[in-house]
Structure 1
């Protein structure tokens, strides 16, 4: 069965909330960048903690960005993927900064991360599907591919 289940917004947010990290996709200096980031869902948006001179901080000037998480549920052999698209803003409001200081965001990279970035979503899309067997997408070329270095 190759059916894809399109997920509703509430289920997408539930999956994003449970994911320990995701990937932020942005354009800087006419080049794509994909950055792993720790995040938290906060009032229908995503929040990241970063350093002021990081590429994540550059997301505020990057225009539209994408954020993607995915996962796999072994017991039912199902995979899922959620993409959030929108714009990033630096959190500057004192009330939001104080509230943001208490958010459970734990960056993996050492160093001060005192800048809060909020991704305000325009689109949230997700899908879930049964994982294909390793040979399900094999082609005739698959069987004739040379082995080893030639």
Structure 2
């Protein structure tokens, strides 16, 4: 990446590294004919994502239509990165919920969330951006 090439494509390994280094993202899911977008905290478990939830719209949505998308991003004054993952969500059974105990899946809100959902990726992509002050790229001769 450079000023001449301000957008770069992240490798799959870079995407997974960014997912492992973070714990907060956004889940997009279908429910009742609408697309919903909600923040979640998550953890990476091998090649899947896990999150905890309680009975409600997220759980109902992924059980009715398991096709989901997930996004994380990070930025500072000069750079930005984002990863988008598309996949299939599955409510884990009681015999599999122990997987959530083996990863750093910590709730941010002290509410009871007994249900664990796995997202198995079907596609993952990432982009990184070299940021500039908005007006610099429109000044002639730059």
TM-score normalised according to structure 2 size:
0.85
Indicate which of 49, 52, 55 corresponds to 2:57. 55
Change (3 A) 1:104 1:133: same
Mark the runs of 5 or more structure 2 residues left unpaired by the alignment: none
Alpha-carbon shift at residue 22 of structure 1 (Å):
0.1
1:5 aligned partner: 8
1:134 aligned partner: 134
2:31 aligned partner: 28
| 8 Å contact from structure 2 (residues 6, 131) kept in 1 | no
SS in 2 for 1:116: strand
| 8 Å contact from structure 1 (residues 37, 48) kept in 2 | yes
Mark the runs of 5 or more structure 1 residues left unpaired by the alignment: 139-150
SS in 1 for 2:75: strand
| 8 Å contact from structure 2 (residues 66, 90) kept in 1 | no
Larger radius of gyration: 1
TM-score normalised according to structure 1 size:
0.80
> Structure 1 CA distance, aligned partners of 2:24 and 2:127?
18
| 8 Å contact from structure 1 (residues 60, 87) kept in 2 | no
